[in-house]
A and B are shown apart, each in its own frame.
Chain A
């Protein structure tokens, strides 16, 4: 007699999997860390997304430096419409945060975002996008900046990978 496991792993039985949605909309915040990656993020943002929000720059007030935490953390994310949004509030309302940097650009701002993620227990995924002329040393430098902060650090092949990843994550 066929075991239950054998019976339920046929293609026919697979067709009886319940068709109800098994997850809710993701609130993903995608932040460009520099002007080059801002162009990529802007490009990606034009596609259709479920709940992803895109930010093209980060700024912080004079009395809040990278490393500040809690109430001392004052920084703003600029969205595609040019509006300034409170970093901590944006991170708090997210499911996870994706930062994008172009290899060789200054990625130190990630520490501020990482502090906000730590404050609200959110995962941080970091993508490094090399350009056609990028050297290994530049990639390495970007990775060094991001390594302490990201749960997942990826050298992406280009803007198409940013889209592929966000789609895969239901962003």
Chain B
């Protein structure tokens, strides 16, 4: 459990809050590249960390992420014309470039220099691995670009999607480091999902429902090892990395692509659940990409034209009690992503952690909260750069492997947990 003030501390990410300032130390996924497909395409509304912004790609392909509202009369620039290297407000014609600089105020003589004195807040927006990333902190503290492996492999080896989740970011992220729920909530999918099935390791998940956990701090966050009994005096280990503040990796299965998530706050009552799949050494097959686009694995089907899941709270997540009773799905909800989201959204917009009853096997969650609070306090009090900002901390991999029972995974899987270009993942 958390005290109310601790829960507030961790869940509030708006400007000026301790966690909001922590998040503003990192590059974060903001949009998919497909949302701004070409120069002068339609601008896109973006809300991140409680700030309403507008993203656009100008006539020369440059990316901008600026305050959504015109500095003149507060009109939303989503209605603007994206033309000749800037967004022109349709109300009175004021125009802004990708840096938020006002470049034209038609009612004032150009020679007056009036436009130069008007500038909207703007954040950098960069493209990497099919994702547009932003950094919302002080410009003088902007870190080097992110180096997560999924965004550094060739584009034909990686696939990312996102879905809106109608809950606070923390309860979503905590699901990503809570390995023990997999054997229950997702058990029906291990045998049927095209992006999971067939892996030799699946039998250990299904055969041992009481995993034992080991947790250690890494430079960037945590490593959470879950071990299950295997033959020949071995343990089957699944190791989940968490990189602060909101990146989680799911241990792989066989030669299937590796996947994981980013959990990015939109505001305090909703977040973006980013899902990535990639293979370190080969292109994704047409079949794999088709499955991902069809909402298999950790991805979801969408309400057409949106990033809202097709199964959502408005339709009771398409609950199927018959499938639940027959055991085809454990919860009655189809798809891994929505199995998680439906339960996490049911906690309410911001989970009340004063009422929860954690057990010893929830130490991954306890430790993540502890590290987040410690880092936010160190940043607030002493300006200490938090773990996970350094791109070296991003070069971590999830792993699944068999080890002798006496071996520590931190030693036995040491090499497997490092992302190395051109080296296949360690997986069973």
Contact = CB atoms under 8 A, between A and B. Distances in A.
A13 B348 contact: yes
B231 interface: no
Interface string B386-399: 00000000000000
A9 B348 contact: yes
Interface stretch (B96-104, B120-128, B360-368): B360-368
A3 B318 CA distance: 11
Given A9-B313, A161-B370, A22 B355 contact: yes
Given A3-B315, A161-B370, A11 B269 contact: yes
A150 to B, nearest CB: 7
A48 interface: no
Interface string A23-54: 10000000000000000000000000000000
Given A125-B363, A144-B408, A14 B352 contact: yes
A23 B357 contact: yes
Interface size of B as a range: 35 or more
A73 B46 CA distance: 64
Contacts, number: 109
Contacts of A14: 348-350, 352
B366 A165 contact: yes
Interface size of A as a range: 35 or more
Q: Which of A2, A123, A143 has the most CB of B within 10 A?
A: A143
Interface stretch (B14-22, B30-38, B195-203, B207-215): B207-215
Interface string B7-32: 00000000000000000000000000
Nearest to A22: B355
B411 interface: yes
A155 interface: yes
A140 B216 CA distance: 11
Q: Which of B315, B366, B411 has the most CB of A within 10 A?
A: B366
Q: Which of B166, B213, B317 has the most CB of A within 10 A?
A: B213
Contacts of A154: 214-216, 363, 367
B216 A155 contact: yes
B230 interface: no
A14 B369 CA distance: 22
Given A6-B313, A152-B212, A168 B358 contact: yes
B215 A155 contact: yes
A144 B313 CA distance: 46
A26 to B, nearest CB: 9
Interface in B268-306: 269
Contacts of A148: 405
A41 B416 CA distance: 35
B326 interface: no
Given A143-B408, A155-B217, A164-B370, A22 B313 contact: no
Contact of A11 (B212, B348, B406): B348
Contacts of B334: none
A169 B359 contact: yes
Nearest to A97: B360
Contacts of B363: 125, 152, 154, 165
A85 interface: no
B1 interface: yes
A153 B280 CA distance: 31
B345 interface: yes
Q: Which of A2, A148, A168, A169 has the most CB of B within 10 A?
A: A168
A5 B313 contact: yes
B322 interface: no
A151 B410 CA distance: 17
Contacts of A136: 411
Contacts of A144: 406, 408
B316 A4 contact: yes
Interface in B408-424: 408, 410-411
A121 B35 CA distance: 55
A165 B349 CA distance: 25
A147 interface: yes
B360 A151 contact: yes
A6 B314 contact: yes
Contacts of B350: 11, 14
Contacts of A160: 370, 374
B55 to A, nearest CB: 28
Interface of A: 2-6, 9-11, 13-14, 17, 22-23, 96, 98, 123, 125, 136, 140, 143-144, 147-148, 150-155, 157, 160-161, 164-165, 167-170
Given A17-B355, A154-B216, A155-B216, 11 more contacts: A5-B314, A6-B314, A11-B269, A14-B348, A96-B359, A143-B410, A151-B361, A154-B367, A160-B374, A164-B370, A165-B366
Interface of B: 1-2, 166, 212-217, 269, 313-317, 345-346, 348-350, 352, 355, 357-363, 366-367, 369-370, 374, 405-406, 408, 410-411
Closest 5 A-B residue pairs measured CB to CB? A14-B348, A125-B360, A155-B216, A6-B313, A168-B366
